[in-house]
Structure 1
């Protein structure tokens, strides 16, 4: 953990491309990425519960979807990335940095919308790892994950990724005219090296075989 007396503000992410083994992250570009994202997030093969806990969507018309993408692309916080499958070149999802507070060394990963082709594959895990890695390399002290307390899928993901549960903010928000109690999770800079090593073991060639994973992410985190 950084000594507060020697604290210096963290750097700010610039949305430069990030290369992984399975995916590449690029700054969201509606002109280049919009067609693929419309297909994977709204097409006939899309995840039927994708939008349930997001504050927007689903989109009945392409025009509304494109307007949403354009607003996301223009934003610096949240700062949106497209997730590109390296094998096919298809854009298969988006996610973002958000709540970026460099003067306090704090950032969050959120606005996650992964197409069905990313689910139950290493691609979503690698996307979270790449953003976490960059965030801590920029000098941050704390990575946050927040979700609706009713969103069991997001809470399972946070725990699988190695986030520590911190509690529930009751009646924290109203989203789509419904109450949202928000579950908070975090990883600190002191915890990140062990968490990162687990990600790296899990994503390795030795662990990711054609027939699937050899060891779970939780097991890889143990060494």
Structure 2
């Protein structure tokens, strides 16, 4: 009698590791940036980097915000810290170029909070996880530090937590986020039409991913681009797109 086996490549049925905010794995040190679990006490310093009228545009594509006063922003940070939707991180920088002028007089050894991001859509049984809620200070955007922050999270997901698919999703109108995903090595998979309603408006969602078979090349590209030798006077010598083309051409 014929047997009917399920189709598809066999994979491990051992779930990936569920991130724990209390784990020492959740503090990530890079050359340009440090990530650690977000704390409510970060709110006042983060307010200068991410909130207030001058930063309202940062929240155009985020379900919350903008936050025009410290009280409402603190409530949002508390929601991120205490809710079950996110594993939230704060980005800490010691680079004076990333620090708002109001905070530049005294930079603690650990750095000043200049952004937030999170792990979300976490499904250990299916080995999938998402990097989302990315909100960086304008002073941090398009910097080596912002690239390194995403790289550190990707490395955590693939190598420490053993996920096999890392996702990046954004409003399909959010061109900077789509470009950031592609630049990091995520592949565009398609757009979910009428996916969500955000702030009373329809959101079509663009989906991107890196899967475990691609991680080796993605990692080498990002490590090579982030290397200290690729920068001189704070300016890149080789673009990340050129690094990717060079390494892919070598079959590395």
The reply to whether TM is greater than 0.5 is yes
Judged with a 3 Å threshold, the aligned counterparts in structure 2 of structure 1 residues 10 and 119 are, in CA distance, closer, same or farther, namely same
Counterpart contact for 2:120–2:132, Cα < 8 Å: yes
Judged with a 3 Å threshold, the aligned counterparts in structure 2 of structure 1 residues 211 and 20 are, in CA distance, closer, same or farther, namely closer
- Structure 1 residue 98 corresponds to structure 2 residue 120: yes
How many equivalent pairs are there? 219
Equivalent residue number for residue 66 of structure 2: 58
Query: What TM-score comes out, normalization by structure 1 length?
Result: 0.93
Larger Rg belongs to: 2
Which runs of no fewer than 5 residues in structure 2 stay unpaired?
Answer: 1-8, 96-106, 248-252
- Structure 1 residue 12 corresponds to structure 2 residue 39: no
Structure 1: 4+ residue segments shifted above 4 A? none
Equivalent residue number for residue 69 of structure 1: 77
Greater helix content = 2
Equivalent residue number for residue 45 of structure 2: 36
Quote the offset at 1:90 in angstroms: 1.2
Tell me the C-alpha RMSD between the 2 structures. 1.5
Q: Residue 117 of structure 1: SS of its match in structure 2? A: coil
**Higher relative contact order, chain-length normalized (CA < 8 Å, sep 6+):** 1
Query: What TM-score comes out, normalization by structure 2 length?
Result: 0.83
Counterpart contact for 1:24–1:86, Cα < 8 Å: no
Counterpart contact for 2:44–2:74, Cα < 8 Å: no
Counterpart contact for 2:88–2:117, Cα < 8 Å: yes
Which runs of no fewer than 5 residues in structure 1 stay unpaired?
Answer: none
Deviations 1:65-104 (A, max 9, x none): 1111011011343110000003451110000000011111
Counterpart contact for 1:136–1:189, Cα < 8 Å: yes
Tell me the distance in 2 between the aligned counterparts of 1:195 and 1:155.
17
